[in-house]
Structure 1
Amino acid sequence: MAERADDRLVRLLGIVAYLDGAGPVGVEDLARRFAVSPARIREDIDALWVTGTPGYMPDDLIDFDAFSLDEGLVNLTQGRGLTRPLRLGTREAVALVAALRAMSTTPAVQADDARAGVVASALSKLSAATGEAASAVDVRLGGDEDARVVGELTRALAGGRRVRLRYVDAADATSERDVDPWRLVTQSDATYLVGWCHRAGGRRTFRLDRVLQVTVSDVAVVEHPDGDESDVFAQVASQASRSPRVVTLRLASTARWIAEEVPVEQVADLPDGSFEVRLRVTNPAWLARLLLTNAPDVLAVDPVDVAVDVAQAARSALDVYDAS
C-alpha cells in the first residue's frame, strides 16, 4: 500500500526531533521506534539530507554523519532549527485545543487507551498554557458506533491485519466481507472504515454504525496496486475549496448508498420514500458519470442545466453507438 505524504512528513519531523534528544541511534532501533523498515529509514535520511532552511546551500541543510550511517548508526549533526521548541500564539493554541477536544471524542481515540492518553496529555498541557481562552472551546465529533467494533478495527489497523465484517448496507441486506483496512475517517456525525473489500474486488467505504460484527484475522493485509487508498472525503474537501457548485439530487430509495458513500452536505428524506442529497461538485465529468450510472434512480436534478448537460452527453454517446 502506498504511503500518504502527510504520514511520511510527520515521521520525518519526528525523526529529527527524536535524534536531537536521543543522540546517535541504530538504523534498526530507529525503524522499530517509527514502525517502518530499516530501508524506509535510510530513504527518510536521504530525503532529510537535502532538506533545510531557505537558501538551501550546503550550510542550510539538515546534516548527518555519513561515516556513522555506513556503520548502521544515525547521528544527527545539524538540525537547522527544527529542534527548537515551537512557540504558539493564543489563536494557534486555541485552534489546537479545539482539534484535540474534537479528536478526543472520536471512537478511534476512545477505543485505544494509549492513543487517548496521548491526546489527553497534550490537551491538558495546551489548555493550561492557553488559560481562559481554552475554556470557551467545546467541540465533539463521532456518532453511534459500537465501541467494541471501533476497538477491534483499531487493533487490526495497528497490526496490519485483515478483518471479516458482518455488514448491513443501506438496503438492509446483510453480508460478510473480508476487508484489508486502510484507515478510519470521521465525517460529519459518522465514522467510516476505508479499505480494500475482497468480495467486491475494490476500494470500499463502510459506515461503522452498520457493522454488526468484526473479527480480526491472522492474515496480514496485502498491497493492492490497482486500489486507491487515499481519503475520498479529503479529496472532495480539497476540490470543494477551489470552485464548487452546489447540486441537489432527488433519488429513489434504492440509491440510498449514494448518501453513505459519496460525501454530501445534506440528506433529506421525502414522504414518498425518495430522498434528496445536496453536494458540492468541482468535476462535472464525475457528476455526469454518477448520474448516468444511476439513471433509473435519478428523479430530479437541480440546477436543471446540469440534467440537460448530462442528457446531451448521453445522447451523444448513443449517436456514436448507432453510427458504429
Structure 2
Amino acid sequence: MSASRTERLLNLLLALLNTRVGLPRSVLREKVYRDSAANDVAFGRMFERDKVDLKQFGFEIETLVDPRSFGAEDPATTRYRIGKDSNRLPDVSLTPAECTVLLLAAQLWERAALGTAATNAVRKLQAAGGFTDVDLPSGVQPRIRPAGQAFDDVVAAMHGRQAVRFGYLAVSTGREEVRDVEPWGLGSRFGQWYLVGFDRGREAKRLFRLSRMTTAVSLVPGSSFEAPDGFNARAELASLNELPIQHAALDVDSDRLLALRKRAAHVEPAPGEDSRDRLVVDFRDPEVLAEELASYGPHVKVEGPAELRAAVVRRLQGAVNFDAEPPVPVAFPDSEKVPRARKRTSEDQLARMLQLVPFLVHHQGLHIQEVADHFGITRKALIDDLKILICSGLPEGYPDDLLDIQWENDHVYISEHLDLNRPVRFSEEEAAALLTGLEMLGDLPALAGMSEDGPGSALESVTLKLTGAAGQAGRLAGSVAGQSVAPEQSQAFATITQAIRDSQQLRLRYFSRQRDELTERDVDPLRLYSLDNTWYFEAYCHSKAGIRNFRLDRVEAVEANGRPASGTATAGQDFPARLFTPSDDDGLVLLQLTRQGAGLADDYYAERTAQLPDGGLLAEVRFGDAGWLPMFVAQHGGSARILAPESLRAEARTWLDAALSQYDDPSDRPAG
C-alpha cells in the first residue's frame, strides 16, 4: 500500500465516518478517488478493495439501499457510511494497580507476533486516555519467548483461519512426517508449547509439540476452516498427561559436567572407560534433555534409552550436515551496524495513524520526539505521518473539514480530529495477547499486595474490564493458553525482591555451567526477569566488578550479607533486560541461520543481519567466549552454523565430529 493509497484510505474513512445519511458512489469517486481512478471500472475495483482494507482495520461499512429499489445494490442510489461507534474501543478506566498488572501482561510477549499485538493494545488504551504511566514492581520483568518462528506462523494462520503444513517428528514412529493441520489453538503445558488442531491426513484432533516440528510452518494454499464453537486451548491441554519419568544412562568425562552430576540419581565407573563415569539421570522429555546433552558434545555419550540417544545424534548430525552445505554469498544491505528490525509497511503506517490522532487528543502539547519515541518510530517517520494527516479530511475540502494538527516549537497539538478521537477496538491478536498474559500472571509473587482489596483483586478487575472491552475480539484469547510464570525458586525470588526494595547486598553461592564450577560472590541485585519458565536476576557482581546475570535455578544459596547496596550500578534502561551485554572486545562471528533459527539473531543481539532467499538470515554476533560456540551450534542442531572466522568454524566442526564419532553404530544415525 503506497503513501497515496494510505492517504486515500484515510480520506475515505473520514468521509464515511462523518456522514449521517451516507454518501453515494458518485460523490466518493469525485471527492476521494478523483486522482486515483481513471474510469468507473477502476474506481469500482479500488472501492471494493478499500472496503475490505477498512474492515481489516476494524471499520464495518454500512450499505444503505433505496427502499424503492428491488433489493439490488443500485450504484445510482446506494449510499455508504460508517457508524460513529462502529468498532470503537469502549472507554476503559484503569487504576494505577490495574495499569501495572496490564503492563506486566503486555510485556510478557517478547518479540513474538503477540508481542507486537500487546504493544498496540496498550497504545490504544493510552490513546484513549485510560492508561496511567506506572513502574514495574521491584524491577520485575516476566517474559515469554514462544517457540520461535513457528509460534508466529501458527498465530497468523489461526487469525486467518487457514490450515498449516509442517514436517513433524512423530512420537510413535520416530520418523519425520508431513502434516496438514487446521490450527485451533496454541498452549503451553509442562514447559512445552503445543498446537491443538484437526489433522486432515488422519481426520482427527491431534496435539503437536512445536519443538518436534522439523520444518518451517507454511500455509496450505486455498484452505480455510472454522474452529469448534467454544474451543478453549487451556481445557484441551488440561487433559494432557505429563510424560513418565525415564532414566538416562550417560557416560561422562571424569571431573566434568557438574550440572549433570548434581542431578544424577546414581554414579559409578563407566564400564570399560577408565576416564569416564556412568551417570543415571531422571528425565521426562527426551527432546529437552537431548538439547542439553548435545551441547556437551564429546564430553558425554548417551548409552540409553534409544530415543534419547537418537535425539542427541540427530542434533549433532544436523549441525554437521548444515556445516557441510555450500557457502552462501555474504552481503549486508549497508555498512551500518544496526539491529534487525521488522520491515515497516504502509499498513503499519495507517494503523499507527488511527492510534496517533486519539493519542494526540488526550496528550496535547507533547514534544515531537516524545511522541515518536512512544510509537517506536523516528522523528522523520512521525513528521511524514503528520504531513499526511494534515492533508486529510472530508470530501467538501474546506479548511474546517481537514484534520487540524500543528507542531509549534516541536510541541504537537491537535484542534480538529474529525471523529478519530477514539481508537478502534482490539483486534483478536491484541485481545489474546492481553487476556492470555493476564491469565499467566495469576501466581506471580510480585502481584501480592498491589491492591488494598487483596493480592489478586487488581488482576481480577483488570481482566474483567479488558474482557468487556474486547467483546467478540476476545474469541482468539480462548485459543491461546500459557502457563504460570511464577518462579519455582520462590524463596530465592522473595529474598532477591526484598533486597532490591531495601537496596541491600546479597551473598550468593552460584553454579556456572559455562565454567563448570561453584563460586561465591557478593552482589547488588538490580532487577528480576524471566524467559519462559526460567528466572534470572541482574546484579552488580563485586568480585567481577561488573553487571552479571544469574539464573535462579543455579543459585545454591542466597542471603543478605548485612551490607547496603553500593550504588555502583543501576538497572539498565533497556527493555527487555539483556541476558548479556556484548562489548567491543568480544569476538565478531558471522552466522548463517535457517528460517527456524532466525530468532537467534535477536536472542544474541546481532549487530547486522541480512535476509536470505530461503527465509534464513546472515547475522553478525559478538561472543565473549569463543569456546562456547561449538556448544551453541550443537545445541541448535542444524539451525545455525559458523561462516567466519574460519578458525572458529574449523574448531566447531572438529568438536562436532568428535562428539558424533562416539556413535559409530549405523543404527544411531537418523534415517535418510
TM-score in terms of structure 2 length: 0.27
Bigger Rg, structure 1 or 2? 2
Relative contact order, higher structure (CA 8 A, sep 6+): 2
